[in-house]
Structure 1
């Protein structure tokens, strides 16, 4: 089978860890199945490559074509209209990627299926492409594409059309499958295939951990860890407020983003300037050391899909405390793994952290729990779904998988 993966969530030379969970799923699928794949990963168009232009300049520096881990990747450009273009984003993405997909389809190796990730705008654009090139389509929902974006009526209507058009629907947790069903999609059409964790990458690193604790910690003091982009949704502020209720302990915050100044100000306001350390961004391949150095990871998010950070931490032997949002309760199902906090309050998080630290979890047992979340089951689930789609298509004698038009679906709101 030859798969065409389509998503703007995919790593590139300028953003090597952007959407790495999509790349990881594909790589494990290919290793398990022996299939082939090519990738169309669009990036926003911007005319200037200078570093003074920040993220936009970085988009401009992404190569048109590159190779990663033996995968051929094309990065077509598409226009983005900041703040105003949300409802037309799928069509702009479709138009920008159309020529690249045509080249892939006509490359001499027949494309069997389009595998799209993130429902909006990527999944909707992929549905347009699948209809044009008469290819079956799967779409994977990963988080805000199903638990936030459908609140906008025009976006919801387009997501509903794409879901109806697709031959297969995937979500990374049951909570997102329920969100998709709430949009009118038959629940039995949705396959839940969670993200896995690569235990060869995320593993205990005691020597590197000891060096980090010597540099950023204090002897005998517990290390709390909060990892993720510094945005409001990730709830780093909740970790800081919880720390203020604990008599001891030190919080390390790993990541960068627009909320950093506000988080620093909060730490000062609560008298925690010497107990909260902002460590900046860590390369993905160095995160195992930071997880290994911590005594507990805190994920205070207001929304999540399938939070990879929880499994990564546990694979390094570090238990977790997470708010009970979306897929988090599906990840943390045993006390050895940590705690899920039913109430998103600083007091509840502080109490859960105290319970985890008092338990003095066995790192080997925590890692063993995480190892049950390998990629193998996910890859085999994909294989079964894709093979069923192709078999159904053959039985229908080549009838295109996608029919209809997004304008036929109108929002009720």
Structure 2
């Protein structure tokens, strides 16, 4: 296999502790790949900060969906930020993925892992992300190899997928079989418990934000000028262009926000519908669909905006909230899971009671009428670094390994 190296350097590693690091197999199809560099970047970010502590090391198994008629074949192995990432392909027939993914994901991962183990690779614990299909497949791998499995729940795997009969059954089995569960918000923890998870099995570990990457621009005027922005209030909405991200609510709020400009960062199937809505409402001149942006380019956009609007109907923990606040830009957030946990001070912004265009417009007016000091917004975000999350993960992993050893 040939490996390609990412241009970004890994997070500087502190001195290793005397004891051997825990060897993780991080398993998730939610992970960046050459074909989808921003996909699941939140999983990668948490892992990078974890291994930077020196108490854990990881090999990443991140299968990518594939179907013959759609083609596309990226490298089977890459090096990103100093982490070895393996990308076996798993069959994903259009329209059937929800039903077939657990089996095809497992088969692809099992074959890839067999090759790695034949070369001498071994690990202590499976660190899986997303309950379905990833956690389901990870649990099968763990049971087959006699390895403990820790699954992190991240959002729709708890709030949406259990609404379907077969996924719900598989998710409940994964919850029961996992050695431990991590939820990225208290709302997700409650959702896991509603699905049958014992309270003592679930640990809440929020996502953090990279405070070195996300920071206010040296000059907002220069940042705005570089992006072609004038003096008008600028709103930014960030996320994949799909219905549940709620970009349409922000577009529909613009007629009630005269003079405001909206930047939408992301790409996806709703692009044409968003443009059509903007034309229908007569605000197309004030809406700019920027497209998907590299993760490292986001701070410039956040820092130039006056407010970031999150109108998602569902989120486990919206990383965009912390990213925006770390750049000094306050937020107007929908009442999705995790929003009230992330936005707990006027310095951060505000959380809406409902997600409608009218509520978005009222929230923006309220926030910008008395906008918090941007330095205070940044200071608030500084309370969301990764150290506590890293320590929490290590505590979960050690507890699981100790329990296995005792058994």
Is the pair's TM-score, using the shorter chain for normalization, greater than 0.5?
A: yes
Query: Does the CA contact (< 8 Å) of 1:209 and 1:290 recur in 2?
Result: no
Q: 1:202 to 1:61 in 2, by over 3 A?
A: same
Deviation of 1:180 after TM superposition, in Å, equals 0.9
Q: Which residue of 1 aligns with 2:62?
A: 41
Give 3-state SS (helix, strand or coil) of 2:284's partner: coil
**Does residue 104 of structure 2 align to residue 92 of structure 1?**
yes
1:387 is aligned to: 398
Whether the aligned pair in 2 keeps the contact of 1:114 and 1:126 (CA below 8 Å) is yes
User: 1:348 offset after TM fit, Å?
Assistant: 1.6
Shift of 1:99: 1.9
CA displacement at 1:205 relative to structure 2: 1.5
Does the residue aligned with 1:177 lie in a helix, a strand or coil? helix
Instruction: Please name the residue that 1:9 is paired with.
Output: 30
Superposition deviation, residue 85 in structure 1 = 4.0
Once residues 96 and 156 of structure 2 are traced to their aligned partners in structure 1, the CA distance between those partners, rounded to angstroms, is: 19
The separation in 1 between residues aligned to 2:62 and 2:35, in whole angstroms, is 13
Find the aligned partners of 2:106 and 2:121 in 1 and give their Cα distance. Answer: 22
Partner in structure 2 of residue 205 of structure 1: 217
Q: Deviations over 1:212-266 (max 9, x none)?
A: 44643232x1111111111111111111122211232111111221111111121
Secondary structure of the 1:216 match is coil
Say whether 1:161 aligns with 2:173. Answer: yes
Deviation at 1:34, TM superposition (A): 3.2
Q: Which residue of 2 aligns with 1:343?
A: 354
- Contact 2:241 2:268 (8 Å CA) reproduced: yes
Matched, 1:182 2:199: no
2:136 maps to what in 1? 124
Question: Corresponding residue for 1:238?
Answer: 249
- 1:292 is aligned to 303
Contact 1:311/1:331, CA 8 A, preserved across alignment: yes
SS of alignment partner, residue 361 of structure 1: coil
Indicate how the Cα distance of structure 1 residues 176 and 115 shifts in structure 2: closer, same or farther if over 3 A, else same: same
Aligned to 2:48: 27
Specify the SS of the correspondent of 2:208. coil
Deviation of residue 211 (structure 1)?
4.2
Q: Aligned residue for 1:248? A: 259
TM-score between the two structures when normalised by the length of structure 2: 0.91
In the TM superposition, residue 168 of structure 1 has moved relative to its aligned partner by 0.8
Contact 2:129–2:152 (CA under 8 A) maintained in structure 1: yes
Q: Aligned with 2:385: secondary structure?
A: coil
Rounded to whole Å, the distance in 2 between the matches of 1:286 and 1:159 is: 36
CA-CA distance at 1:206 after TM superposition: 3.7
Shift in alpha-carbon separation, 1:257–1:109, aligned structure 2, 3 A: closer
> Is contact 1:40-1:75 (8 Å) kept?
yes
Equivalence for 2:17 = none
Q: 1:330 aligns with which of 314, 325, 341?
A: 341
**CA–CA distance in structure 2, aligned partners of residues 46 and 192 of structure 1:** 36
Shift of 1:329: 1.4
Q: Does 1:283 align with 2:294?
A: yes
Offset at residue 119 of structure 1 (A) = 0.5
Name the CA shift for 1:214/1:67 in 2 (closer, same or farther; >3 Å).
Answer: closer
Scaled by the length of structure 1, the TM-score of the pair is 0.90
Aligned mate of 2:76, from 60, 64, 89: 64
Q: 2:125 matched to which residue of 1?
A: 113
How many residues of Structure 1 are paired with residues of Structure 2 in the alignment?
A: 386
Higher RCO structure (Cα 8 Å, ≥6 apart)? 1
- Distance change (3 Å), C-alpha of 1:335 and 1:231: same
1:110 deviates by 3.5
Unaligned runs of 5+ in 2: 1-21
